Amino acid sequence: MNIIEKINKLKREKNAIILTHCYQNIEIDEVSDFVGDSLYLSREAAKTNADIIIFAGVYFMAQSAKLLSPEKKVLLPNMKSGCLMSDMIDVENLRKFKSQYPGIPVVCYINSTAEVKAESDICCTSSNAVSIVKSLNEQKVLFVPDTYLGKWVEKNLKNVEVITYNGYCPTHLKIRPEDINNARKKYPNALVLAHPECHVETAKLADFVGSTKEIMEYAKKSDSKTFLIATEKGVTDRLNRDSKNENWGKEFYGVNDNTICPNMKQNSLEDIYNVLLNEINEITISENIRNKAKECIDKMLLSGSKK
Ligand code: 13P
Ligand code: SF4
């Protein structure tokens, strides 16, 4: 049996499912039950009847799955797979930030630890950040940890001041406005699709800005044939694969060669097999943190946005 067959057999025996973020190494899709962005995967985590969830993603994503499914065993294939942006804020920094702006609600990007979520008012993802902030009906909000997603939200909403913490994604910041301009010169008919974690000056140059899953859906539906993808390489790889397998006749290019999130690429099929076989790398969260952090995510899931 090859590794894929071995994983699939173990999954059946143990009633396990595998949730995979679209920045993962593409071969992991072969054993995955769901592949998508943070919001989609957190919803699927909440719905599943599986006994074990393997989260092929980064640490905060596995933590979010555990928050939504506390009775299930949630395993991370490789404990080194953490999000650099989420590590830029801890509870102490957040309390300091809040104390500078008393009484202003805190919107917390899902790319954050359970501890940070527990200290925040409502969660959001890249696909619903604008509608979540809008739903609060506030003149000012605090936004953590991603300063660029926060600025993107402010740009898209009239009359809301979004005060951002100074976190950022090192991978998305490597996509500079000149990369977009140069790539457009090379592919003049291409549409540029960008993730809102990019610098606002980069995102402004895009034809469409959205979460990873939104970018993939947009590309599939669009009549254009050539696309420049301003987000992590996993998205470009999956789009090219699907275009080939399903005869879309479309081509997808990255805007530079640096758009790789090294932490997202830590998980391998061997790691998945190993954690599923031995049931190791289990995510645990104390009850106190879990209750508060879950409330923060539940508010998002229940929000009228329903995106
Ligand atoms: P999505 O919310 O689009 O899945 O993005 C998560 C992420 O880590 C982007 O860098
Ligand atoms: Fe975190 Fe950036 Fe990697 Fe996404 S791409 S997991 S935000 S470091």
Q: Tell me the one-letter amino acid at 145.
A: P
Mean pLDDT of all residues in the chain? Answer: 95
pLDDT band for 42, please (50, 70, 90 cuts): confident
pLDDT of 251 reads 98
CATH number at residue 10: 3.40.50.10800
Which of 25-34, 61-70, 94-103, 277-286 has the weakest average pLDDT?
Answer: 61-70
In this predicted model, what pLDDT tens digit does every residue of 249-271 receive, in sequence order? 999 999 998 899 999 999 999 99
| Residue 167 DSSP class | B
The domain tally of the chain equals: 3
* 66/266 Cα distance (integer angstroms): 20
Is 111 a pocket residue for ligand 1 (Cβ < 6 Å)?
yes
Rounded to the nearest 10 degrees, what angle do helices 287-302 and 59-68 cross at? 90
Q: How many CB atoms lie within 10 A of CB 291?
A: 13
148 Cα to the center of ligand 2, angstroms: 13
pLDDT of 185 reads 97
- Average pLDDT, stretch 14-30? 96
Cα torsion 147, 148, 153, 158: sign:
positive
CA Rg, the chain, in Å? 19
The closest ligand to the CA of 37 turns out to be: 1
pLDDT band for 40, please (50, 70, 90 cuts): confident
Is 211 a pocket residue for ligand 1 (Cβ < 6 Å)?
yes
Same domain for 206 and 233, yes or no, is yes
Q: Is residue 190 part of a domain?
A: yes
In this predicted model, what pLDDT tens digit does every residue of 130-152 receive, in sequence order? 999 999 999 999 999 999 999 99
Percentage with pLDDT > 70 across the chain: 99
Mutate to test the pocket of ligand 2, among 84, 89, 109 (most ligand atoms within 8 A of CB): 84
Per the CB < 8 A criterion, the answer to whether 197 and 126 are in contact is yes
Same domain for 101 and 162, yes or no, is yes
Same domain for 93 and 75, yes or no, is no
Q: Is residue 226 part of a domain?
A: yes
Burial letters for 181-210: b for 16+ Cβ neighbours within 10 Å, e otherwise? eebbeeeeebbbbbbbbbbbebbebbebbb
Q: Tell me the one-letter amino acid at 193.
A: L
Q: Is residue 259 part of a domain?
A: no
pTM of the predicted model, to two decimals? 0.94
Same domain for 58 and 201, yes or no, is no
In this predicted model, what pLDDT tens digit does every residue of 96-114 receive, in sequence order? 999 999 999 999 999 999 9
Q: Is residue 51 part of a domain?
A: yes
Residue identified by tokens 């005060």 is: 163
The residues lining ligand 2, judged by C-beta closer than 6 Å to any ligand atom, are: 58, 83-85, 111, 169, 171-172, 197, 232, 261, 263-264
Q: How many CB atoms lie within 10 A of CB 83?
A: 22
Mutate to test the pocket of ligand 1, among 84, 126, 198, 297 (most ligand atoms within 8 A of CB): 126
pLDDT band for 303, please (50, 70, 90 cuts): confident
Residue 211: exposed, middle, or buried by beta-carbon count in 10 A (0-12, 13-18, 19+)? buried
Is 147 a pocket residue for ligand 1 (Cβ < 6 Å)?
no
pLDDT band for 208, please (50, 70, 90 cuts): very high
pLDDT of 306 reads 47
Same domain for 40 and 63, yes or no, is yes
Q: Whose CA is nearest to atom 3 of ligand 1?
A: 211
Same domain for 158 and 301, yes or no, is yes
Mutate to test the pocket of ligand 2, among 81, 197, 231 (most ligand atoms within 8 A of CB): 197
- Which residue in 151, 189, 177 sits closest to 230, CA to CA? 177
Mutate to test the pocket of ligand 1, among 20, 22, 24, 37 (most ligand atoms within 8 A of CB): 37
pLDDT of 304 reads 52
Same domain for 90 and 77, yes or no, is no
Q: Is residue 245 part of a domain?
A: yes
Q: Whose CA is nearest to atom 7 of ligand 2?
A: 169
User: 43 or 95: which carries more pLDDT confidence?
Assistant: 95
Residue identified by tokens 């409330």 is: 295
pLDDT of 86 reads 97
pLDDT of 39 reads 76
| Domain boundaries, position 145 | 86-168+290-305
Q: Is residue 213 part of a domain?
A: yes
- Runs of H (alpha helix) within the chain: 3-14, 38-47, 59-68, 91-100, 114-118, 129-135, 147-156, 170-173, 177-186, 200-203, 212-221, 233-245, 269-278, 287-302
In this predicted model, what pLDDT tens digit does every residue of 150-185 receive, in sequence order? 999 999 998 999 999 999 999 999 999 999 999 999
Closest ligand 1 atom to 21 CA: 4
Same domain for 275 and 295, yes or no, is no
Same domain for 68 and 10, yes or no, is yes
Rounded to the nearest 10 degrees, what angle do helices 269-278 and 3-14 cross at? 30
* 253/227 Cα distance (integer angstroms): 6
pLDDT band for 38, please (50, 70, 90 cuts): confident
Rounded (to 5) percent helix, strand, coil in the chain: 45, 15, 35
